[in-house]
Structure 1
Amino acid sequence: MNHASLNHQRSFVLQPMQHWLESIEIRNPWMARSLCKLIPARCPFERKITLFNHTVLYIPPLCKLNPFYDQLVELRFKSLTYLADQCGEDITLYC
């Protein structure tokens, strides 16, 4: 299998979950608060592990490894917007 067909297969498998995440509507404060606490505000760590000035191991930002990262960020944004606009809450706690 070539690289293009592997990407197509992966895309085909992941798309239903991506669409489902995108379609979630935030309708209650408990859910919105939970999502804001669960989904990090920033992309988790990137690390270089060096030994004697040579990089031994490189760990990329974890968001680049997560195929649902964009949808999760959007879901967190929807939650923050709901809390601020619909509930009138101060969302600085989640930022």
Structure 2
Amino acid sequence: MTDFTQTQHDLLYPIRQWLEAIEIHNIKLAQFLCKLIPSQCPFERNIIFGRKQIHIPPMCKLNPLYDELVGLRFRAMCFLAEN
């Protein structure tokens, strides 16, 4: 599939492009992003009801923007490490 056909079918493509284009030039913004975006998926849980256990899978894998958000957090961490 070419890049053009992916953009036709991907409704989140403009948001993906916007997240990828964010440049971090401010320490406060970098700190905010590192606090806002978790370093690991916080949603995976095992819930026990009496004798039964229900496993809730990590929701991060279901988030269609997960890779872009993790990349943004990584860029923020790199900015903080350099400054």
Q: TM-score range by the shorter chain?
A: 0.7 to 0.9
- 1:36-72 CA-to-partner distances (Å, cap 9, x unmatched) read 01000111231233445444x4321021121111001
Residue identity opposite 2:67 in structure 1: D
| In 2, Cα distance between equivalents of 1:36 and 1:84 | 12
1:16 is matched with 14
| In 2, Cα distance between equivalents of 1:78 and 1:31 | 11
Report the identity percentage: 51
| In 1, Cα distance between equivalents of 2:50 and 2:36 | 37
Moved runs in structure 1, 4+ residues, more than 3 A? 50-55
Structure 1 gaps of 5+ residues are: 1-7, 88-95
1:82 is matched with 79
| In 1, Cα distance between equivalents of 2:18 and 2:74 | 16
* TM-score under structure 1 length normalisation: 0.69
Paired residue total: 77
The one of the two structures with greater contact order (alpha-carbon pairs below 8 A, sep at least 6) is: 2
* TM-score under structure 2 length normalisation: 0.78
User: Equivalent residue of 1:27, what SS?
Assistant: coil
| In 1, Cα distance between equivalents of 2:38 and 2:49 | 30
Residue identity opposite 1:83 in structure 2: L
Note if 1:36 corresponds to 2:34. yes
Residue 15 of structure 1, CA deviation: 1.0
User: Equivalent residue of 1:13, what SS?
Assistant: coil
Two-structure CA RMSD over aligned residues (Å)? 2.0
Structure 2 gaps of 5+ residues are: 1-5
Note if 1:48 corresponds to 2:46. yes
